[in-house]
Amino acid sequence: MALVYGFLLVAALGIGHHYGMLAVRGIKPDADDRPQAAIIVTFLGLLALHTIEILAFAGVYKVLLSWGGLGDLGGSYDASWDGLIYFSGINFATLGYTQIETSGPIRMINMMQSLGGFMVLTWSATFLYSVCERAWRE
């Protein structure tokens, strides 16, 4: 069941990321008219979007851990909000190698967050690259 939860969370991440990228595209200046501003606004917009996504997953972990039955976080996890943000961010941006250990079914959600983070980070990198390519055209 945890794999299904993870799949649904990553699906929601992808949908939210799509609309977040549309918002970034909507607020960035035209790369032909203001190339440097287009790059900076895109970068900062994507940074904000990824931060929101990490915070959202931290909130999900908080809820899932309070339910019980899906496992636990151990190791150096101190049961703080900062600890959940760190755990979520490490999972999102890497393969989840951290001093915080997972046990039980929540490991599947952890794994799926890493997959989803990899997917949206590469999606964002491709978008940023396309803005840079257009801005840096001679």
SS3 track for 30-65: CCCCCHHHHHHHHHHHHHHHHHHHHHHHHHHHHHHH
Tokens, residue 20: 């977040």
**How far is the C-alpha of 57 from the C-alpha of 112, rounded, in Å?**
11
Answer yes or no: is 27 within a domain.
no
Q: Look up the domain containing 42 and give its range.
A: 2-21+37-135
Element (H, E) at 88: helix 81-93
**pLDDT tens readout for residues 79-113:** 889 989 998 999 899 876 678 888 888 899 999 99
Answer yes or no: is 87 within a domain.
yes
- Taking alpha carbons only, the member of 68, 45, 57, 43 closest to residue 115 is 57
Give the pLDDT band of residue 10 (cuts 50, 70, 90).
very high
Our count of domains for the chain comes to 1
**pLDDT tens readout for residues 29-62:** 998 899 999 999 999 999 999 999 999 999 999 9
Prediction pTM value: 0.92
Answer yes or no: is 30 within a domain.
no
The CATH number given to whatever domain includes residue 118 is: 1.10.287.70
Answer yes or no: is 88 within a domain.
yes
Query: In terms of DSSP bridges, do strands 100-103 and 72-75 run parallel, antiparallel, or are they unpaired?
Result: antiparallel
Rounded to a whole number of angstroms, the distance between the first and last alpha carbons of the chain is 53
Burial of 114 (0-12, 13-18, 19+ CB in 10 A): buried
Answer yes or no: is 91 within a domain.
yes
Answer yes or no: is 46 within a domain.
yes
In sequence order, what are the residues at sequence separation of 6 or more whose Cβ sits closer than 8 angstroms to the Cβ of residue 131? 28, 31, 38, 39, 42
Task: Tabulate helix, strand, coil % of the chain (nearest 5).
Answer: 75, 5, 20
Answer yes or no: is 101 within a domain.
yes
Element (H, E) at 75: strand 72-75
Answer yes or no: is 62 within a domain.
yes
